[in-house]
Structure 1
C-alpha cells in the first residue's frame, strides 16, 4: 500500500500491560473489530472505555486524525471507516489498525471505498493467515496493491458518491429496524428523494 504514509497498530496492547484497566464509561472509546462497521463506528457493541491517563499512555503521539482510515484486520477482516473530523479520541484496540493515507497521492474517502470492494477482499483473503479466524498482518498489507485514478479530484468525487450511498443504506436500515418495532413510520429514502 504505497499510498499509505503510516500504519498505526496497537494490536496486542492491553490496559493490563500498561498497569491500567478499562472503565465502563468514559471519554475515550476503545475500538475493536466488533465496533467497526463499513462506514460507521458502533460503540454500543463490546463497549470498553478509557480515561485520560489510559488514552495518553496508549495512544501517545499516535492520536487519530481527520482522514485516517480504521481497518479491521480480522474477525471480521476488511471493515472500514474513514474519520471525517479531527475530534475523534479513540483508543485502537484488538484487531484494528489505522491507515494514514498520503493525501497528496490518494483521497481518504476514495481509499476507504476501494478497501471495501470485492476485489480487495479477495486479495485480503489471499494475504491472510490463521486457522479458524483468518487475519491479515501489517507485514502482508504492504503487498496489497491496486490502481487508483491519478487525479485527486476524481478520487474525491468517487469517494463522496460512495459515502452518500452508504449514508442512504444506513438510513434505510435504521428505518427498516424502526418499522419492525412498529414505533415510528419514516418514509423510505432513495437517491431520487435526496438529489
Structure 2
C-alpha cells in the first residue's frame, strides 16, 4: 500500500529553522535551557544534559519559535537526520543552531506519526541524500521545509503513532528508573567520600581532610590492567554487521554506556586485540578527542568485547578496591577537572590523556569495610540498571522491526 506524499510545510502550523548562530551560554543553572543537536536522538530529546543561558539571550533566541508538547525536532547538521519529539510540557527551553522545528497541524498530521515517519528508512535515506556532498553534510532549510512524507488518513496516522509510541513510553519509563539508580549511587558516594559523612565518622580522626585508615595510592598500584586498543586494519570498512563488540569513544559517557553505533569485528580481528579484551565491570575511560575524560562501566550484555585506541580499560584489583568506587572517583567533580586539565581540554591542540598520567593518578582508598559497603550498594544499582538497559534494547529492536511494516502498510495499524 502506498500513501500520497505531502510536503511538511503544508502539514504543519510551524516549520522553521532555529537561529543559525551559537547562543552565549553561562556555566550555572539559570532555568533557561538550550537544546543542542547532541540532545536529539532516536525519537527522544534529552532535557537533562543541557546548556544554560540568561533570560535576555533566551528571549532573543526564541523570537521565531518556542517548543511545546507535541513538537518534533530534526537535526540539519552534525549529525544529519536525528529526530526528537517533546513528549511533555516544557518551560524556558529553546533550540540551538542546526535544529529544525516542526509543529504539526493536529487536523492534518499526528505528531507521533511525524516523528516515526522521519525516522523511517525511506525518509532517513532521503535526508542523508540531501546532506551528502557539501563540505560538511547538512540539510538546507528549504529542503527541511518542503520535505515530503507519506500521508495516510489521520486515523491511520494516529494508530501508527500510538503503536510505536507505546514502545518508546516503556523505554522512557525505564530510562527514568535508570537515572534514579545512577543518582542513588552518586549521592551515596558524594555523602560518604566527598562530604565525609560516612557511618562511624564520629569515631574517626580526620587529618588534612583524610580520615584515619584511608590512604592515597597510584592507580597502577591498585589495578590489574591499564591499556587501550586499536582500530582493526581497514578502519570502519572492516566492521561487521555482528560479531565481537568493538567499543569506541562514542559509546562511553559518564556513568552510561551508549549501545547505539556499537561496532562489531570478526574473531580474527578480535584475536589481534586479545590484549584489550573487556571484562564485565571494567572501567572504560575515553582518552582522546572532544569526549576525553568520559567514563563508564563495561556492560555485561555486550561481552565479549574489545576497545579501540581511543578508549582505555582500567581494571581494579579486587583485593584492593572495587570498580564501582573507581568509576565514581574518576567521575567526581574534583578528579574530572584534574583529568580534563591534564588532557588539555578546551586548548588549541587535540585533547589526550597519556597512559603514564592515568597510571600515576592518585586515588583515595577508604577503609576496607566502608569500601565493601559502598561496592555492595553500587553493584546492586548497576545490576538493576543493566536489566533495564537490556529491556530497552529489546524494546527498541521490536519497535524498529514494526516501523517499516507499519509505514509501508504491510501491517494494518
Query: TM-score range, shorter-chain basis?
Result: 0.7 to 0.9
Separation (CA, whole Å) in 1 of partners of 2:91 and 2:164: 22
Counterpart secondary structure, 1:146? strand
Partner secondary structure for residue 100 of structure 1: strand
Q: 1:133 to 1:44 in 2, by over 3 A?
A: farther
Aligned to 2:84: 81
CA distance in 2, matches of 1:104, 1:167: 24
Contact 1:9 1:92 (8 Å CA) reproduced: no
Is the CA contact 2:80–2:138 (under 8 Å) kept in the aligned structure 1? Answer: yes
Kindly indicate whether the alpha-carbon contact (under 8 Å) linking 2:81 and 2:128 is maintained by their aligned counterparts in 1.
no
Q: State the alpha-carbon separation in 2 of the partners of residues 130 and 49 from structure 1.
A: 34
List alignment gaps of at least 5 residues for structure 2. 1-7, 182-255, 258-296, 300-323, 325-378, 396-413
Cα separation, partners in 2 of 1:88 and 1:149, compared to 1, 3 Å = farther
Counterpart in the other structure of 1:39: 43
- Any residues of structure 2 matched to 1:16-95 within 5 Å, and which? 21-24=24-27, 25-43=29-47, 45=49, 47-60=50-63, 62-95=65-98
What RMSD, in angstroms, separates the aligned Cα atoms of the two structures?
2.8
Aligned to 1:127: 130
Considering fraction of residues, name the structure with more helix. Answer: 2
Which is greater in Rg?
2
Deviations 1:60-81 (A, max 9, x none): 3622222111111111111111
Q: What is the aligned length?
A: 183
| Residues 96-145 of structure 1: CA deviation (Å, up to 9, x unaligned) | 12111111101001101110011101111222255353111111124421
How many Å separate the matches in 2 of 1:140 and 1:165? 30
The CA distance in 2 between the partners of 1:108 and 1:101, in whole Å, is 6
For 1:142 and 1:50, the matched residues in 2 are separated by 28
Query: Is structure 2 residue 143 aligned with structure 1 residue 140?
Result: yes
Conservation of the 8 A alpha-carbon contact between 2:72 and 2:84: yes
2:21 maps to what in 1?
13
Q: CA–CA distance in 2 between the matches of 1:122 and 1:179?
A: 32
* Aligned partner of residue 6 in structure 1, secondary structure: strand
Q: Which runs of 4+ in 1 moved over 6 A?
A: none
Contact 1:69 1:82 in 2 (8 A): yes
- Give the TM-score normalised by the residue count of structure 1: 0.79
Give the Cα separation in 2 of the matches to 1:88 and 1:114. 27
- The C-alpha deviation readout for 1:137-187, integer Å capped at 9, x for no partner, is 11112442122221x232122112212223445638x59958936442335
